Amino acid sequence: MAYKNVLKYSDVTPKADYMNRRQLMGGAAGLFAGMAIGPALGASKYSTDAKPNTFEEISSYNNFYEFGTGKEDPARHAHQLTVDPWSVQIDGMVDKPGSYGLEDILAKVSQEERIYRFRCVEAWSMVIPWYGFELKQLLDMAGVQSGAKYVAFETLVREEEMPGIRSVNIDWPYREGLRLDEAMHPLTIMATGVYDQPMPKQNGAPLRLVVPWKYGFKSIKSIVRVTLTDKQPQTSWNMLQSREYGFYSNVNPEVSHPRWSQATERTIGGGLFAKRKETLMFNGYEEEVAGLYAGMDLAKNF
């Protein structure tokens, strides 16, 4: 798998310099598994101006329990994962259910870079330049039926390639879900790459969800199934401990995790003595998404 104009670790720069380089690229097409996935459109209007983390930081500090519970375990073991060919089963309340090959999906969607803040429920954060497309494009492709209210997601389960499945006490597959209006929001994307490189396997190759105003565990990795439903779906962390992990899991500095405060966060790459910074409501995306939760008790619906 390769993208044209692939950036090396040594090429990683602050956003301003990086974006100047992208403009010089002149909209060159990226490649995924040897197939065109559309033009590099430059930074989206939804991108943050914050300085991105380096590719090395993004790809070496991960939660992906299918490969182990340590932050370095995914990078150590995920090379075993087979990601080509790849397909996504789309079913439930859709007009066109079926198995959608990733190659076919990417031929029909429009991709762009989205530089997003990323906030983990464990109170650490990064800034990540994702590459991908709005989830809405995929849902529109399948044809969402009028009674659908939620979107459920499932990740790959392949025990021979994912050693964590044998040792981590989760009812596999890993499951996540969104309300339909959250899924259709333009900030919600299906990411296929980072820094103009194909999605690292430890980050959820080849296709993962990114919902930047929610805690990171909502952004499910290595997706193989999408289901439209009229009932709120089960989600893995909520199934494990509902008191600690609600269905919504919106970033909210005013609602603490039962075992730690969410008021501040530690920035990955900030250095050993870097000060913690205040966490922003909805991870800084309040203007864009607060309307989705108008009238809701956000402490009750956490």
Q: Known binder of ligand: residue 20?
A: no
Q: Known binder of ligand: residue 99?
A: no
User: What are the E-state strand segments in 9-148?
Assistant: 29-32, 35-39, 87-92, 98-101, 112-119, 124-134
User: What span, in angstroms and rounded, lies between the C-alpha atoms of 40 and 26?
Assistant: 8
Q: How many helices (H) and strands (E) does the chain have?
A: 8, 14
User: What are the E-state strand segments in the chain?
Assistant: 29-32, 35-39, 87-92, 98-101, 112-119, 124-134, 150-155, 175-179, 189-194, 197-198, 208-210, 223-229, 264-267, 277-278
CB atoms within 10 A of CB 174: 24
Q: Known binder of ligand: residue 219?
A: yes
Q: Known binder of ligand: residue 155?
A: yes
Strands 29-32 and 35-39: antiparallel
Residue 203, both tokens = 């980050």
Q: Known binder of ligand: residue 203?
A: yes
Annotated binding site for Mo-molybdopterin: 62, 65-66, 120, 155, 203, 208, 219-221
From the annotation, which residues make up the binding site? Answer: 62, 65-66, 120, 155, 203, 208, 219-221
